[in-house]
Structure formats: C-alpha cells, structure tokens
Amino acid sequence: MLLNLCAIVLAAAAGISAGVISFPTYEIELYNGYDLKGSVHERHSGTFASPSPVTQESFCMTHQFMVNKHQSNNRLYSFKYTVHDLNSGLNMKLRLYRTPDCKDEYIAGEMSIDIALLAVILLSILLCLLFTRQSPRDPNQRLVNDLGWAQSSAVSDKEQSTAKNLPAFTTRQLTQSTFLITEWDDIWNEHPFIYAKIVPAAETILIVDTGCGGRTLNTDIGLTSLREYIETVGVADNGGRPLNEGRRMRYVVVQTHCHYDHILGAEAFAVDSPILASGHSPSFVSPSNLPSHSQCNALGIRTPSYRLTLAPHLHQIVAGDQNSPSSVPLGVELLHTPGHTPDELALWDAGEQMLYVGDTLYERDPIIFPNEGDIVLWFSTMDWLISFVKSQANAGEVRINCGHSTAMGSALEVLQAAKSFMQDVITGKVDLWDRYERRGWWAVEYRQEGGRFSLICPERLVLEARMALEV
C-alpha cells in the first residue's frame, strides 16, 4: 500500500512536470487507496468526482484534468493533496506548486502518522528510498526530500536553503510594460492579483494594490515584503532582473479599495511614495473607519497605518507633485466605480487599452459584497464601465484585469456576462445556493451553472436591489 501511495504521489509529480501553467489549490482524498473523492478548496469550496476505482493512471488523469481546467485563469497556486489510507491510518499531505520563476515545478509536503504506525513508517522509508533511487530525477526528488526523507535526496544544501526562502509572490508579464504579481499562498486564500506597470519615461512603477502583506502559513516562504520582492527578486519575464532593480524607479501606488487583501503591503511604499485612493467617500477610508471597513478588525489583525491621497473621478495619475510642472503623466486614469465598496475604483490605461476593476467583478471566485456594498450602485457602475469600454475605438480589444482570478479577459464580454449573471440573481432566475448567518446577518450565495460567476453577499443587498429595480 505504501508503495502504491508513493507511486501515486510520484506519478502526480511526474504529471505536474508536463508543462502546466497554473496550479489552483485542491485537496484530494484517497479513501482506502481505491476511491478518489475530492473537494476543491480555493477561496470557497466545491466538489469534483474522479473515475473509480482509482489507479495511478486515473489519479494522474484527474490531476491533469484539474490543471487543464484552470490553465486559463492565470493563477499560480499550489495543489494540496491529502492521501489517507483507511487500512493503515496513514495520512500524507502534499503540496505541489511552481517555483517563482515559473519555469519549474517545486514540490513540498508533510506527513502525519499515528505513533502506533511506527513500523509502517520505517517500512515506508525503506520502500521510498528504494523507489526514489530508481527515479532520481526532479521533481520527485524534492517531493521525497520534503516528505522527510532528506538523506535519500540528492538535492543540495543550497537548494534546500533556497526552498525555505521562497518569495510570497510570483510574477508574469502581461504586456510590454505591465506585470501581474500574484500572492500565491496567503493565509486567507485570497491570492490577490497585484499589477505593476513600468513607465520608463517617468522612471516610475505604478503599483495597483499591495496584497495581503505576505502573510502565509507556508514555511517555505521566507520573503514576505512586496516592496522587497519587487526590488530584489529576479523575474524570468523581466530578463531575470527584479522589476525595480536597485530602486532605480519611484513608485505611485493605487489601492482599488481598502479591503485588507489589497492594502496590507502598503506601509512599505507609503514611507516615500503616494498611495492613491478613491475620493468618492472620504469618510469610508478615514483612519477611524479603516479598521472596520478594511475588515482588519473582523480578522483580528493590525490595520496598516499610512497616508492616503484621495483622487477625484477621471483623475490622471502623475509621477511627482501633482501641481508641479515637472510632474509626468503615467497615462493611467482613475475611475470611481462604487458598488463593491463605496471607495472601489477602476483604472484605465489608454495606451495599453487595459481596464483594472479591483473587486467589482471577477470570474471563478465568488463576487463578494461586504455589508457596506450596494448592488444597485454596482449595476450603475457596470453600465458606466460597459459604455466606457464601448466608447473606445477598438472596444473589442480592451482587456480587463481584476483583483482576483481574472486577468487579460475581454473587457466587454466579461463585464456584460457578469452583469447578466447579477441580473439573473436579482430577477430570481438563479436558485439560491446557500443561506447562512454570518457575523450577525444573513448571507446568501448564488452560483451560475458552470461556475463562471457566483455571488456571496448580505441578503439585505439582494432584497434592496429587488425593491429598487422593481423586480
């Protein structure tokens, strides 16, 4: 059985090495070694089934299916497997994920075994030693290494020390000037999308959101500061150089809204750089309201403290002092787009025809409204954004980039599809998926068939929208 487990795990690792692009997070349970049932644990759960009985081949097929299914969603996260053998009581947790340079796959894992199973453990070590000696090539080597059989591994000390200092971020290039930075294993499973636009003429990097501050439970992650990452870690898509090597460029930071998963890395930039936010509702982001509106209070974490520069609707972002003739425009405009929160904003990069929408919408993860959200306002914002994109000469070419999950989508199509889903929710065409009490109020969840869009919000917001829209 142990050998079977090893074979399955190693086969999964081999499957991963076959040139995949993205790794969402899953937990897969192998019951009795023969039935594979799984639950998907990204930000929210789902389920899937696999051919049964499970063989090495069907396990790999299921794994590859999951990878392929999510290949297009631009996420670079880990797979988590829980392998549980009911006969022996053996549990094995594995984590499979990519290296930060996105070239190679990296594999880590841990094992938890009942003390009574010591004999099984010893046997497993012997078997796996044998097995890995027969298959000495990476990435299996790293898997075995991290499972605790370090002595059997040919991985060098240098590589091991690197493994414990992985950055909390990965980066890939989206356009000539713009990079997508993903926080790939944060403690809250938010996996925020952070965008960095390099404007050489202004010697400036525009940073859109600053993520979760590198907070993680992953002990392989050692570098958690977004700013340090940008300044010191080489990016394959940037010729192997850090995005801001040697701090040559200054920063302008924009927060799409004040939720914790978009602001926890802001303090490191605020010491010498402006942090722009929506001026639509100044009190919403005031220092006295930030702890609750950022949700830091609810999570029991310290609210970051930094000074905001509130910008009006249609504000043209510049590098340098706004009122100085030496300021340089970055070619990006801020748009007030309240709905998700009162301070939600979008950015429009006319040169690259890119729209950034924060948490107003995204695909495959639930669109979440907090108590301060407003669905009626959200519809107005969506109508405005749709007509804004339509007013562009090449509307069909405009790309949309969201705060999670979606990047480089077709803006018009994604905006219209998200609006259509929400209309179906409000008009009762989508069945209620779940209703539960949350922090003293009722939350409701709706899911579109096929899973592209879903919604979680206070029930009150749906009822208010039905009243306002006379449904």
Closest to Zn ion by CB, 66 vs 212, is 212
Q: Taking the complex as a whole, how short is the minimal distance between the CB of residue 113 and Zn ion, in angstroms?
A: 40
The answer to whether 211 and 264 are in contact (CB under 8 A) is yes
Q: Taking the complex as a whole, how short is the minimal distance between the CB of residue 190 and Zn ion, in angstroms?
A: 9
**Nearest of 306, 35, 22, 279 to residue 170 by alpha carbon:** 22
Q: Taking the complex as a whole, how short is the minimal distance between the CB of residue 403 and Zn ion, in angstroms?
A: 7
Q: Taking the complex as a whole, how short is the minimal distance between the CB of residue 189 and Zn ion, in angstroms?
A: 14
**The two three-digit tokens of residue 143, written as one number:** 């898997």
In sequence order, which residues have a C-beta less than 8 Å from that of residue 324 and are 6 or more positions away?
none
120 three-state secondary structure: helix
| CB atoms inside a 10 Å sphere around CB 161 | 10
Closest to Zn ion by CB, 259 vs 336, is 259
Closest to Zn ion by CB, 179 vs 260, is 260
Closest to Zn ion by CB, 56 vs 289, is 289
Q: Taking the complex as a whole, how short is the minimal distance between the CB of residue 340 and Zn ion, in angstroms?
A: 6
Cα 86 from Cα 1, distance rounded (Å): 11
Is the CA virtual torsion 410, 281, 275, 233 positive or negative?
A: negative
Q: What is the DSSP string of 161-174?
A: HHHTTEESEEEEE-
Q: Taking the complex as a whole, how short is the minimal distance between the CB of residue 56 and Zn ion, in angstroms?
A: 42
Closest to Zn ion by CB, 140 vs 381, is 381
Q: Taking the complex as a whole, how short is the minimal distance between the CB of residue 369 and Zn ion, in angstroms?
A: 9
Q: In Å, what is the CA distance from 178 to each residue of 207, 238, 425?
A: 10, 10, 35
**Nearest of 239, 231, 175 to residue 407 by alpha carbon:** 175
Q: Which residues bind Zn ion (CB under 5 A)?
A: 259, 359
Closest to Zn ion by CB, 185 vs 359, is 359
Which amino acid, residue 104? D
Cα 213 from Cα 216, distance rounded (Å): 9
What pairing do the DSSP bridges indicate for beta strands 328-336 and 409-410? unpaired
| Cβ-based burial of 291 (10 A; exposed 0-12, middle 13-18, buried ≥19) | middle
Q: In Å, what is the CA distance from 428 to each residue of 149, 381, 401, 462?
A: 55, 21, 29, 10
Closest to Zn ion by CB, 359 vs 374, is 359
The answer to whether 305 and 294 are in contact (CB under 8 A) is no
Closest to Zn ion by CB, 142 vs 259, is 259
Q: Taking the complex as a whole, how short is the minimal distance between the CB of residue 419 and Zn ion, in angstroms?
A: 18
Q: In Å, what is the CA distance from 449 to each residue of 104, 125, 233, 322?
A: 34, 45, 41, 47
442 three-state secondary structure: strand
Q: What is the DSSP string of 349-412?
A: ETTTTEEEEETS--SSS-EE--TT--HHHHHHHHHHHHHHHHTSTTGGG-EEEESSS--SEEHH
Q: Taking the complex as a whole, how short is the minimal distance between the CB of residue 382 and Zn ion, in angstroms?
A: 16
Closest to Zn ion by CB, 186 vs 359, is 359
Q: Taking the complex as a whole, how short is the minimal distance between the CB of residue 257 and Zn ion, in angstroms?
A: 6
Cα 46 from Cα 25, distance rounded (Å): 11
Closest to Zn ion by CB, 155 vs 187, is 187
Q: Taking the complex as a whole, how short is the minimal distance between the CB of residue 75 and Zn ion, in angstroms?
A: 17
Q: Taking the complex as a whole, how short is the minimal distance between the CB of residue 356 and Zn ion, in angstroms?
A: 14
Q: What is the DSSP string of 404-439?
A: SS--SEEHHHHHHHHHHHHHHHHTT-S-EEEEEEET
Q: What is the DSSP string of 194-228?
A: EEEEEEGGGTEEEEE--TTTT--S-TTEEE--HHH
Closest to Zn ion by CB, 5 vs 357, is 357
